[in-house]
Amino acid sequence: MPKPAQSLNPQHARRRARRCAMQALYQWQISGLDLNEIEKQFLVDQDMSKVDLDYFHELLHQIPARLDQLDSILKERVDRPMEEVDPVERAILRIGVFELQCRPDIPYRVVLNESVQLARQFGATDGHKYINGVLDKVAKDLRSAEIQAGR
């Protein structure tokens, strides 16, 4: 089993954890495979040496555990049923909402930026604009005090 990325830049290791979690959540959404099985596949088949493994595990297991709650927040802000949102964008949105709601230690601007970067790398042509628009609305509700303090 790979060792955690302890000597690396924590932001880079967390960014890699988000990327891997997005791919693993996409796989879970499409295949319906057991999360533990998907996690094992990633640990064996992917180079996870520069990944924050604890954060990868947290995202991979906590997002499905809170899926109804996260999707409830999203469905008020997306322009179509969640099942019709592109699976890559759906995974990115769920990560973003999870971080906005459950990880106040991560600044909302970081959450939005990281989500937009994932969408640019893996999403549809203008998917990053959609991701930014939806998560900006979520941030205004979930992080209003943080946003006001930053102005």
Residue-wise pLDDT for 46-63, tens only, equals 999 999 999 999 999 999
Fold adopted by 1-65 = N-utilizing Substance Protein B Homolog; Chain A (1.10.940)
pTM of the model: 0.92
Reading the block at residue 5, the tokens are 């990325």
Percent of the chain with pLDDT over 90: 87
Instruction: Let me know if the fold of 1-65 is the same as that of 68-143.
Output: yes
Q: What architecture is the 68-143 domain classified under in CATH?
A: Orthogonal Bundle (1.10)
pLDDT at 10: 83
pLDDT at 8: 63
